[in-house]
Amino acid sequence: MARNLVAVLSGLLFGLGLAVSQMVNPAKVRDFLDITGTWDPSLGFVMGGAVVVFYVAWRVSFGWPQPLYAGEFLRPVRTSILETRLVGGSAVFGVGWGMVGLCPGPSISSLAYLLPQTLVFVIAMAVSTYAGRWVLPEVEGTARGTGAG
């Protein structure tokens, strides 16, 4: 029960943060990405703040034997080269984000505004995520339990 409550509260906090920072506003996101036109750097501060919070949480987690609501930490395995899947996925994500102005987290938060285009985006995202499991099955050994990093 506590695990589900923490998950719901975390999701609500995340969604609220996206709404307050206007990351759910496709026009604001496109303006951030338009560095030669109507560039709006404010989302850079949002991302910078997120990086700082993540960095602190990541470093603190190394001192814990296990997460509060899971059996072990799953951390990515370090590789010395960029993988094709990583570069390809990043490119598709970036192109989609630039064209539409939404990415997965903000699109789900944007459903609260009841805009039809957001609903179409979220449905397309869900279908493509599900279909991607057939095209590129999960590679074994991409994450490992850890105590050190």
pLDDT digits (tens, 9 = 90+) for 1-36: 888 898 899 989 988 888 888 888 888 888 988 889
pLDDT band, residue 77 (cuts 50/70/90): confident
Question: Looking at the chain, which runs of residues are DSSP E strands?
Answer: 73-76, 143-146
Name which residue leads in pLDDT, 66 or 145. 66
SS3 of residue 25 by DSSP: coil
The predicted structure's pLDDT at residue 128: 85
- Tell me, what DSSP letter sits at residue 129? H
- Hey, what amino acid is at 87? V
Cα–Cα distance between 146 and 128 in angstroms, integer? 31
Provide the CA 75 distance to its chain's centre, in angstroms.
16
Angle between helix axes 26-33 and 42-61 (nearest 10 degrees) is: 90
* Residue 52 pLDDT > 90: yes
The predicted structure's pLDDT at residue 41: 92
Average pLDDT over residues 95-110: 86
The predicted structure's pLDDT at residue 141: 45
- Tell me, what DSSP letter sits at residue 113? G
* Residue 140 pLDDT > 90: no
Q: Residue ranges per domain, the chain?
A: 2-146
The predicted structure's pLDDT at residue 149: 42
Name which residue leads in pLDDT, 26 or 139. 26
Angle between helix axes 26-33 and 84-100 (nearest 10 degrees) is: 120
The predicted structure's pLDDT at residue 137: 66
**Structural element, H or E, at residue 61:** helix 42-61
- Hey, what amino acid is at 112? A
Q: Hunting for tokens 């496109």 — which residue is that?
A: 30
Cα–Cα distance between 106 and 27 in angstroms, integer? 13
* Residue 146 pLDDT > 80: no
